[in-house]
Amino acid sequence: MAAGEQKAGKGIGVRLPRKEDERFMRGRGSYVGDIKMPGLTDVAFLRSPLAHGRIVSVTAPDELAGRFFTAADIAASVKPIRAVSGLPGFKPSSQPALADGKVRFTGELVAMCLGRTRAEAEDAVAQVVAEIEPLPPLADFAVAEQPDAICVHEEWSDNIYLETRIEKGDRSRIDGAAIEVEREIRLSRQCMVPLEGKGTIAWWDTRLDQLVVYTSTQLPHMMRTGLAECLGLEERQVHVVAPDVGGGFGFKCVLQPEELCVAWLALTRKKPFRWIEDRREHLVAAANTREHHYRIKAFADAEGRLLGIEADVAVDVGAYSVWPFSACLESAQIASILPGPYQMPFYACRTRSVATNKPPFMPYRGVARTGVCFALELMIDAIARQAGLEPADVRLKNLVLPEQMPFTNITGKLFDSGDYPESVRRAVETIDLASFRARQREGSDDGRLLGIGFATYCEQAAHGTTVYAAWGIPMVPGFEQATARVTPDGGLELRIGVHSHGQGMETSMAQVANQVLGIDTDRINVVHGDTALTPYSTGTWGSRSMVMAGGAVSRACEIIRERALAIGAHLLQTGKDEVELVGGRIQGQGGSVGFADIAQAWYKSPETLPADVAPEGLEVTAGYKPMVDSGTFSYATHAAVVAVDPDFGSVEILDYVVVEDGGTLVNPLIVDGQIIGGVAQGIGTALYEESPYSADGQPLASTFVDYIIPGPCEVPDIRIVHMETPSPFTAHGIKGVGEGGAIAPPAAIANAVNDALRPLGAEVAMTPVTPHRLLAAIAAGRNGRQPVQS
């Protein structure tokens, strides 16, 4: 199809406006916080004021009896959260719902109080007295790794959840390399800041003898498993609903202690309780992601061809291992994905997941890739500067080539398809590198320094059984299932176990069904987010939903199609081989019938059906897994032009281009939205968002005054160019694409800043590139040295 041509219909590939926007854009979404119930009791928490300490006592005045709870009340009936990994040497942690004996990060739950309103519950919290004897706080991984450091978990011998080592290829290839560059590269800890925070409301359903938990989650089925395990219930006794969820990004894919507390209250008191996270709780107790530290060396020949990478990586994972993803998801991934889309004859990497007195680390959109891309792409540019080459040309010399597909890289990753160098060439062309270099040479008239930066990455998505079984975490995805049901009036209901919280799946899943059955998307409902109504699923994570649930919807609809063809042929008094499905109708020589006719026959006039009709009827649950389930590989090249003000250390993004190949795009309009949203988050990581800690482990950004997220003025228009190479392994060639936008911006922007700073001999190598860090880099450049990354 020619560029710019609009595909007709409502099937795969159509830029269909989102069905769900009718409610979202009118403010009619229904979130946990919108739920009203008679007798609803609010919960507020007393959170630890110290990063590390031993609890001596937690007391409250007598008048709070029945409204005040500590570990002493719940520890016997609520098991701590334990997320283990099967990787050899992994040390698990136990995270109690309410701190039991020790506190291990500022913001950890110490006690909970009840009130008729949140304000009343907070009044009660204000009366609780916690006596905590301070222990030495470990506010940074480097402190926690000191041999004499106190252990965050007393039963451990050190503060390392897991150490991994990998060495691949031929080490002798880096000997005598013409180019050797070494850098220390860091990403700051940050929050995810979804528009809707976390929230949970729970009650006991006496009729069904079930604990009902409405919670803001990406993984309702997994939450049922986690809640049941910790509360000692059978899973049939737990019903989890994720209603409308205002953004997840990974923050809502783990079991939270607050969820356990609220569920325990409902279970034991048989009344409704709720907790709605406020922004301060989020910024303090959920500052939980991105914090990677790299010492990395890259070796190349004089022409900029990579000879090898050696890296030593620490991830500051915080106090506990989160369930189900564990504390080592990122570090284990880093080791395997650091080579990115590049070819190299040698690669070695050591990683550590380090326990500190900070909130538990969680996977955030891009999961490890944002850090990996930042580290590797800064090194590619460092090589280019040393070799005196255009950074884009160094990428072209090292990227995997289209004729090598499918390609197995140095760490054994199987790339499915694509033309990676073409994404660089198109980015160069779209951002007009040649004109930019001319403009850069002339200099700006306002004293600002201009720079251009590129970043190329691959995004493995929809990782399946083989990948996750190797990591040994408590959640290994298998076949994904979807239910398709033709309603008695000829409409369609789809039931999927993943959850849509911004991904537009109520539209895109309907488009897949429309592609197979031709039923108008207006007549298709997509049901998700309810363990009672949908097939089991590990949920929405890892950019997997469109590949996995989309594939399952496709399979279910294909089975419906065959059964409909059989009934339709009978109604048309002809053989099944004589009819076909066209435009949502079964056509034979003598005429046609629609799904309403077929449904009428099946549900209401079964006497008209043939004796050999399929007894399963017009409702199908089908399972799906790609023929190769190690994951799809989307990729992109991002290019940024920035202006740096050397007086204030500020960075303005003047142009931003994304050339993206996400395989077959089910709805390119939704993909564009995901890219733009992801890039906005990436700009936050690159320039603004940071959760700094004092040396004693106190969070220094607890409101939006100190925690800065980009606003409309900080996010430029993003120019998107799509390439579309279908995956050979998946239904319809779909690839996962939801996280990509957030992966490359820190790398592209920092590379652009470094390009601008080149005349000053300065470089930045830590996110976010704040004015202070940028000015410190300039000052260090002036003195002919690299700045300390802090």
Partner 1 sequence: MKPSAYRYARPSSVAEAVRLLADSDGGGKVMAGGQSLGPMLNLRLAQPELVVDITGIGELASVREDKDGIVYGACVTHAAVEDNRVPDAANGFLARVAAGIAYRAVRNRGTMGGSLAHADPSADWMTTLTAVDAEMLIAGATGERRVALAEFMTAPFSVALDEAEFIVGIRIRRHSPAARFGYFKFCRKRGEFAEAMAAIVVDPAAGVSRAVIGATDSRPIVLPDISAYLPLSPERLEAAKAMVEGLGIAGEPIKDAMHANAFARALQQVKP
**Cβ 722 to partner 1, closest distance in Å?**
31
Read off the tokens for 386: 């040393």
State which residue, 73 or 714, has the beta carbon closest to partner 1. Answer: 714
Q: What's 693's DSSP letter?
A: B
* Min separation Cβ 9 and partner 1, Å: 42
Answer for which of 30, 77, 117, 694 binds partner 1 (CB under 8 A) is 117
Place of tokens 């995956």: 727
Residue carrying structure tokens 């006719």? 597
Min separation Cβ 25 and partner 1, Å = 19
Q: Which two tokens stand for residue 187?
A: 């990403």
Nearer to partner 1 among residue 63 and residue 647 (C-beta): 647
695-714 footprint of partner 1 as x/- string (CB under 8 A):
--------x-x--x-xx-xx
> Does residue 133 belong to the site contacting partner 1 (CB under 8 A)?
no
Closer to partner 1 by Cβ: residue 611 or 705 = 705
54 SS3 class: strand
Binding positions for partner 1, 593-612, rule CB under 8 A: none
- The answer to whether the bond into 406 is cis (omega within 30° of 0) is yes
- The minimum distance between CB 117 and partner 1, in angstroms, equals 7
Contact with partner 1 (CB under 8 A) among 33, 75, 92, 123? 123
Tokens of 577: 């081989």
Q: Does 776 bind partner 1 (CB under 8 A)?
A: yes
Tell me the window of 305-313, 469-477, 643-651, 716-724 that interacts with partner 1 (CB under 8 A).
643-651
Nearer to partner 1, 118 or 758 (CB): 118
The residue range among 67-75, 118-126, 528-536, 755-763 that interacts with partner 1, by the rule CB under 8 A, is 118-126
Using CB under 8 A as the binding rule, whether residue 758 contacts partner 1 is answered as no
Residues 237-256 that bind partner 1 (CB under 8 A): none
- Does position 401 interact with partner 1 (CB under 8 A)? The reply is no
Is 652 a binder of partner 1 (CB under 8 A)? no
Q: What's the min distance (Å) between Cβ of 374 and partner 1? A: 20
Instruction: Output 158 or 258, the one with its CB closest to partner 1.
Output: 258
Task: Examine residue 26 and tell whether it contacts partner 1 (CB under 8 A).
Answer: no
For strand 407-408 and strand 718-723, is the pairing parallel, antiparallel, or unpaired? unpaired
Closer residue to partner 1, CB minimum distance, 222 or 778: 778
**Interface segment toward partner 1; rule CB under 8 A; list 49-57, 608-616, 641-649, 672-680:** 641-649
Please select the residue that binds partner 1; options are 779, 783, 785, 790, rule is CB under 8 A.
779
Cβ neighbour number for residue 614 with a 10 Å cutoff: 14
Give the position of tokens 């949970």: 200
Does the bond joining 324 to the residue before it have cis omega, within 30 degrees of 0? yes
Based on the shown chain and the rule CB under 8 A, indicate whether residue 678 belongs to the binding site for partner 1. Answer: no
770 binds partner 1 (CB under 8 A): yes
Calculate the alpha carbon distances from 94 to 262, 319, 347, 363, 608 in Å: 19, 10, 35, 19, 62
3-state DSSP percent of the chain in helix, strand and coil, to 5: 30, 25, 45
Query: Residue 487 has which token pair?
Result: 């309603």
Residues 654 and 737: their CA atoms lie apart, in Å, by: 25
Which residue of 648, 695, 759, 782 would you call a contact of partner 1, by CB under 8 A?
Answer: 648
Binding residues for partner 1 restricted to 183-242, rule: CB under 8 A: none
116 binds partner 1 (CB under 8 A): no
Q: By the 8 A CB rule, do 718 and 613 touch?
A: no
Query: Rule CB under 8 A: is residue 145 a binding residue for partner 1?
Result: no
Q: In this complex, which beta carbon is closest to partner 1, that of residue 278 or of residue 422? A: 278
Answer for the pair 177, 346: CB distance below 8 angstroms, yes or no.
no
- 254 or 683: whose CB is closer to partner 1? 683
Residue with tokens 């011998």: 157
Which residues ranging from 259 to 318 are in contact with partner 1 (CB under 8 A)? 278, 280
For residue 357, the minimal CB distance to partner 1 (Å) is 23
Among positions 469, 647, 695, 782, the unique one binding partner 1 when judged by CB under 8 A = 647
- Of 536, 532, 553, residue with least CA distance to 477: 536
Strands ordered across the beta sheet of 273-276: 68-69, 109-115, 41-47, 273-276, 199-205, 210-215, 238-241
At its nearest, how many Å lie between partner 1 and the CB of residue 708?
5
549 vs 633: CA distance, rounded Å: 17
- Rounded to a whole number of angstroms, the minimum distance from the CB of residue 775 to partner 1 is 5
CB 97 within 8 A of CB 260: yes
Within 10 angstroms of residue 782's Cβ, the number of other Cβ atoms is: 11
Least separation in angstroms between residue 400's CB and partner 1 is 38
Residues 6+ positions from 38 with CB-CB distance below 8 Å? none
Cβ 119 to partner 1 shortest distance, Å = 4
Q: Characterize the bridge pairing of strands 407-408 and 414-415.
A: antiparallel
Give min distance, CB of 624 to partner 1, in A: 44
Range in contact with partner 1 (rule: CB under 8 A) among 166-174, 291-299, 648-656, 673-681? 648-656
Closest CA to 279 of 711, 701, 770: 701
Please, what is the minimum distance in Å from the beta carbon of residue 705 to partner 1? 7
Looking at the Cβ atoms of 491 and 771, the one nearer to partner 1 is 771
Query: Using the rule CB under 8 A, which residue among 584, 623, 728, 771 binds partner 1?
Result: 771
Instruction: Return the closest-CA partner of residue 400 out of 416, 387, 388.
Output: 416
C-beta closer to partner 1: residue 677 or 710? 710
Whose structure tokens read 């993984």?
A: 219
Kindly tell me which of 649 and 746 has the beta carbon lying closer to partner 1: 649
Indicate the residue among 445 and 612 with the shorter CB distance to partner 1.
445
What's the min distance (Å) between Cβ of 36 and partner 1?
A: 17
Q: Which of 650, 716, 719, 780 binds partner 1 (CB under 8 A)?
A: 650
Q: Of 117 and 608, which CB lies nearer to partner 1 in the complex structure?
A: 117
462: region left, alpha or beta (phi > 0 left; psi from -120 to 50 alpha) = left
**542 HSE (CA, 13 A, CB side):** 26
Kindly list the distances between the CA atom of residue 72 and the CA atoms of 100, 112, 153, 154, 278, in Å, as whole numbers in the listed order.
Answer: 8, 12, 20, 20, 26
Residue 189 CA from chain centroid, whole number: 16
Amino acid at 178: A
Inter-residue contact 233 to 264 (CB < 8 Å):
no
Torsions phi, psi of 720, nearest 5? -115, 130
Phi, psi dihedrals of residue 281, rounded to the nearest 5°: -60, -40
Binding region for partner 1 (CB under 8 A) out of 130-138, 466-474, 532-540, 767-775: 767-775
User: Least CB distance from residue 768 to partner 1, whole Å?
Assistant: 10
User: Bridge-partner residues for 599, per DSSP?
Assistant: none
Strands (E) across 662-751 are located at: 718-723
**Could you say whether residue 36 binds partner 1 (CB under 8 A)?**
no
# residues contacting partner 1 (CB under 8 A)? 26
**535 is a contact residue toward partner 1 (CB under 8 A):** no
- Supply the minimum distance, in Å, between the C-beta of residue 290 and partner 1: 19
CB of 47 or CB of 528, closer to partner 1: 47
Q: Which is nearer to partner 1, 72 or 119 (CB)?
A: 119
End-to-end CA distance of the chain: 50
- Structure token digits, residue 114: 């009840």
Cβ proximity to partner 1: between 120 and 696 the closer is 120
Q: Which residues bind partner 1 (CB under 8 A)?
A: 117-119, 122-123, 126, 278, 280, 647-650, 688, 703, 705, 708, 710-711, 713-714, 770-772, 775-776, 779
